[in-house]
Amino acid sequence: MGTFFSDWYYLSIRNIRQIWRPIMALIPSMFIPIFFFVVNSQSLDRFSKVEGFPAHVSYKQFIAPVAIFTAIFFSAGNAGIELVQDISCGYFKKLLVMPIHHLAIVLGKLTEVAVQSVFQGGLVLILLMIFGVPINTGFFGVIAMFGMQILFAMAWSCIGMIAALRTQNARLVQSMFVLVFPFLYLTTSQAPKALLPPAFRTIVTYNPVTYIVEGVRALVLDGWGNPAIWQGFLVAGILFVVMVSLTLASFKSALK
């Protein structure tokens, strides 16, 4: 067991160092969430006056959780790209022939995702608070908010790793990033569920990302009694277990 944690630790350190190489690559993933927050909060502000919109909530407050979520969501895109690079240069093959548990390799990548999520999400959160967005659940709400989103980001990053392990194709893995936008916008990220068209509302209900967005929004706008919080943690936890299991099962493809 000690060897497992030691392997996980050293692989995590190696992966975390890649976050800052180069540091300029982090700018788009932090700029885009703030850009859309500023533009949407100003251009769609009157939407908060529509009947059916949550009372006493500005549109700026409504979409603020989406900006944090997007920043953390973007942090999940690098794991698959870096893994396919490790495969192409032969580093990954070396890991496989060593007595290292496959789970330690996966968790090493996911630890990198978690660290990058805290860094990017934390900066966006600070900027949102400067813009005057309060967090109603306080300090512990921020901890819960990051915990839920990081758990989901790690689960989502497994999609890229699975593609890397099964195809070993860099172009395909990079193209997986575009999945972020349909999954994010087919949620209640831009409008309350009650104001969405019936067909769209059905899609939103079955989109797991919706429950993460709503869970984060509940922590920002409401209180601990909102069931969206535990529902968000439940969905994030189930996705994490399922996606990590599928990633481990994909190691067989890389061994061929």
CB atoms within 10 A of CB 53: 16
**Residue at token pair 């996705």:** 239
**Residue at token pair 């699975």:** 162
Per-residue pLDDT, 102 = 86
pLDDT digits (tens, 9 = 90+) for 48-105: 888 878 888 888 889 988 888 888 887 777 788 888 888 888 888 888 888 888 899 8
CA distance 121 to 72: 5
Q: What residue type is 77 in one-letter code?
A: G
pLDDT digits (tens, 9 = 90+) for 187-215: 888 888 888 888 889 999 999 999 999 99
Per-residue pLDDT, 23 = 64
pLDDT digits (tens, 9 = 90+) for 137-156: 889 999 999 999 999 999 99
Per-residue pLDDT, 120 = 87
Q: Above 80 in pLDDT, residue 256? A: no
Q: How confident is the model at residue 253 (pLDDT cuts 50, 70, 90)?
A: low
Per-residue pLDDT, 147 = 94
The helix or strand, by DSSP H or E, that contains position 223, with its residue range, turns out to be: none
Question: Which candidate, 182, 188, 191, 199, places its Cα nearest to that of 228?
Answer: 188
Q: Where are the domains of the chain?
A: 2-254
Let me know: does 44 contact 129? Beta carbons within 8 Å. Answer: no
Q: Could you give the residue ranges of the DSSP H alpha helices within the chain?
A: 2-17, 27-43, 59-74, 78-89, 91-97, 102-130, 138-167, 170-175, 180-185, 198-206, 208-221, 228-249, 251-254
Q: How confident is the model at residue 2 (pLDDT cuts 50, 70, 90)?
A: low
Per-residue pLDDT, 47 = 81
C-alpha distances in Å from residue 138, one per residue of 22, 133, 187, 222 = 34, 12, 25, 11
User: What pTM value is reported for the model?
Assistant: 0.89
